[in-house]
Structure 1
Amino acid sequence: MLDIAGQLDRWCAQGREFAVATVVAVGGSAPRGPGAALAVDSDGVAVGSVSGGCVEAAVYDLCVRALQDGDPVLERFGYSDDDAFAVGLTCGGVIDVLVTPLGADAPGREVFVTALSAAARGETTAVARVARGPAGLLGAALHVRADGSYEGGLDGHPELDRAALRETRAMLAAGRTGTFTLSESGSHCGNEVTVLVETRVRPPRMIVFGAVDFAAALVRSGKLLGYHLTVCDARPVFATRTRFPEADDVVAEWPHRYLGRTATDERTVLCVLTHDAKFDIPLLEKALRMPVAFIGAMGSRRTHEERDRRLREAGLTDRELARLRSPIGLDLGARTPEETAVSIAAEIVAVRQGGTGAPLTGSATPIHHDRDALTNA
């Protein structure tokens, strides 16, 4: 739902009634993951998508019906259903969809209004909803902010709310969307309640070191992947806004010094495109000891061997050096800066999602790597 927060926030401001269908869990080959949403207002206007087109019509009808009835509903779609071809989910996957009506007088509407407004403003926020459990709990929501404060509740026992709040805060801190299961008493056993948590956090950072033509192309690819892009180079004549208009930040500073003072986290991607030892070695010596998601460096295999030797002399261990993706990128036969940027972006996605980078043709590997297994109905 938070992936279409901007549009839904405008609907809320206009006082429009709508129902939102959200993917709770997926199994097998499903086009979109948990959190993907389709919303339909009282005039029949639809925004968003839950399946890339596969089951949109059936989910649209569920939204219309839920808005009329005023009751949340959980529905499963899958290839094994008798009407699989009718609804269009013929890719072999299974998705669970929670439909929540948000009419003018819907219980808990204000929780959603506040959460959608926060997400639309780009604030770090999370919404937890009961996706499976007793009928009286289905759709009950909790909104959690970055500072840990919250509003709403799951309308259960206080223990359930406390446990849900604890789990939701943890998922928000990790920037993760998915589900967890508790009992009505708040423990992880007993009568089960499945809670869907959707998070909206600030975009992860990609820092590109080296203000070269390859960096300009990589900035465009990185923006497409949703990263906040910074270009850093020690040479002010190259590190200019004119050369990198699509970057969020352009910094003229020695790379290792900038890395030492800027904010990074476990989602940060570092791409070193300078392939110049006086820049690379002090930068990588620092980077390979930091808890970031991806560290890659450009250069030939000979450059990599020389870089590896220098880093070992600087005291880096085998374990630290194993984190370095060098030469950076997948083997696509890339020549131009744009092709090289695609190669680098592809490797970043593969590392982030646990992909192999191998062609799907003739492969038995899953097309969609499931992070949250589909729970049993």
Structure 2
Amino acid sequence: MLDIADELDRWAGQGRDFAVATVVAVGGSAPRQPGAALAVDREGTAIGSVSGGCVEGAVYELCRQALEDGATRVERFGYSDEDAFAVGLTCGGVIDILVTPVRSGDPARPVLAAALATAAAGGAAALARVTDGPAELLGRALLVRPDGADEGGPGATGGDAYGGGRGDVYEGGRGDAYEGGFGGHPELDRTAAAEARALLDQGRTGTLTIGAEGSRCGRPLTLLVESSVPPPRMIVFGAIDFAAALVRAGKFLGYHVTVCDARPVFATAARFPEADELVVEWPHRYLAATAVDARTVLCVLTHDAKFDVPLLEAALRLPVAYVGAMGSRRTHLQRNERLREAGVTELELARLHSPIGLDLGARTPEETALSIAAEIVAVRRGGSGAPLTGAHTPIHHPGGQPPAGRIGSVA
């Protein structure tokens, strides 16, 4: 649902009633992953997608029905070999859809509205919803933030309801020591919040199963946890023409893109109008002073030893998603020797993608940027980079790093 937060937040702010259908589980070659959503308002306006077109019509009608009867439901769609005209996925996969009414007075509306507002503003939060378990809990929602700041909704304590020391506030509508929850066993909210935070810390979206009483045993209860996180970072070192094309590719993939170069004459807004940040500094000094995480990608395009070696010496020891460096094969070999002399280990060197990019036969800056972007996606998603024609590997890889947008995914 948070993948269409911008528009849904506008709907909620206007007081519109709507229903939202969210993919909660997939099997086989399903086109969309958990968290993908389609929403329909009272006027019949629809936004989003749950299947790329295969079952949109049927899901649209389920949303209209939920708006009328106020019932939360889970429906499964799959492929029917027996009936070619049956509603299903032509790709052969299976998807489970959670349909939730979000009307004035509905219990879930306050927490869903808070989650949408946070995601639309680019904030970090995890929205957990019950997708399988006791009927009375189906669709119940709980919102977990990294800290207690900027809480919306009446009754929020602003402190940690469970003594965890992080200032977390859980929103949902119970009016307990925190704002909301699932309304089941007292330990359920605490366990769900802890599990949701673990996914939020990784920027991931996925399902998890816990006991309805909050333990790992007892009656099973399944939650969909959607994580909203700020965009991941792409840092491009070297303000060259190839970097300008890579900035555009990075923005297209959803990254917050920074260009860093020690030469002020090259690192200018006129040359990089689409960059989110321009930094004039020695690359290794900037990298030491800036924040990176497990989703950050570092692209070193300077191919100059005085910049590359101290930068890569630091970069290869950081817990980032990707480190790539431009240069010919000869430059690559010479650079590796300098890095070894600087104390970089073979295990650290193995993390380096150099020469950067996939073998597409690229020549122009735009083609080269496409080559680099393709390698970043392959690393993030666990792809081989080989043509799909004639291959027998899965088209959609369930594992890999979180994607480069608002919502992450996990199998």
Scaled to the shorter chain, the TM-score interval is over 0.9
The equivalent of 1:150 in structure 2 is: 170
Give, in whole Å, the separation in 2 of the partners of 1:290 and 1:247: 23
Aligned equivalent of 2:60: 60
CA RMSD of aligned residues (A): 1.3
Contact 2:66 2:99 in 1 (8 A): yes
Query: How much does 1:189 deviate?
Result: 2.2
Q: Distance in 1 between matches of 2:252 and 2:84?
A: 33
Map Cα deviations across residues 72-113 of structure 1 (whole Å, 9 max, x no partner).
Answer: 111111114755643251001111110001111211211111
Amino acid at match of 2:186: P
2:138 corresponds to 1:138: yes
Q: Work out which of the residue numbers 231, 235, 245 in structure 2 matches 1:207.
A: 235
Name the counterpart of 2:26: 26
| CA distance in structure 1 between the aligned counterparts of 2:15 and 2:262, rounded to whole angstroms | 52
1:318 aligns with 2:346: yes
> Structure 1 residue runs of 4+, over 6 Å off?
none
Residue-pair matches, total: 374
> SS state of the match for residue 137, structure 2?
coil
Aligned match for 1:217, one of 234, 245, 267: 245
Q: Which amino acid aligns with 2:26?
A: V
Q: 1:104 to 1:2 in 2, by over 3 A?
A: same
- Distance in 2, matches of 1:80 and 1:197, equals 29
Distance 2:69 2:234 in 1: 46
Structure 2 counterpart of 1:106: 106
Are the equivalent residues in 1 in contact too, given 2:204–2:410 (CA < 8 A)?
A: no
Do the aligned partners of 2:8 and 2:116 also contact (CA within 8 Å) in 1? yes
Provide structure 2 residue ranges, at least 5 long, that are not aligned to the other structure.
148-167, 173-180, 400-408
Partner SS state of residue 135, structure 2: coil
Aligned to 1:302: 330
Write out per-residue CA displacement over residues 51-76 of structure 1, whole angstroms, 9 at most, x where no aligned residue: 11111001101111111111111111
* Equivalent position amino acid for 1:163 in 2: T
TM-score, L = length of structure 1: 0.97
Query: Contact 1:181–1:195 at 8 Å: present in 2 too?
Result: yes
Q: Shift of residue 146 of structure 1?
A: 2.3
- Stretches of structure 1 lacking an aligned partner (at least 5 in a row): none
Task: Tell me the CA shift for residue 245 of structure 1.
Answer: 0.2
Q: Are the aligned partners of 1:63 and 1:99 in contact in 2 as well (CA < 8 Å)?
A: yes
Residue in 1 that maps onto 2:41: 41
Residue 256, structure 1, aligned to residue 289, structure 2: no
Amino acid at match of 2:112: F
CA-CA distance at 1:169 after TM superposition: 1.1
**TM-score of the superposed pair, with normalisation by structure 2:** 0.89
Q: Percent identity of the aligned residues?
A: 72
The aligned residue for residue 212 of structure 2 is 184
Q: Which moved further from structure 2: 59-68 or 146-155?
A: 146-155
| Letter of the 2:182 counterpart | L
- Separation in 2, partners of 1:146, 1:162: 14
Residues 155-178 of structure 1: CA distance to partner in whole angstroms, max 9, x if unpaired?
210111111011011111111100
Report deviation, 1:286. 0.5
Partner deviation per Cα, 1:19-44 (whole Å, 9 max, x = no partner): 10001111111111111000011111
Equivalent position SS for 2:136:
coil
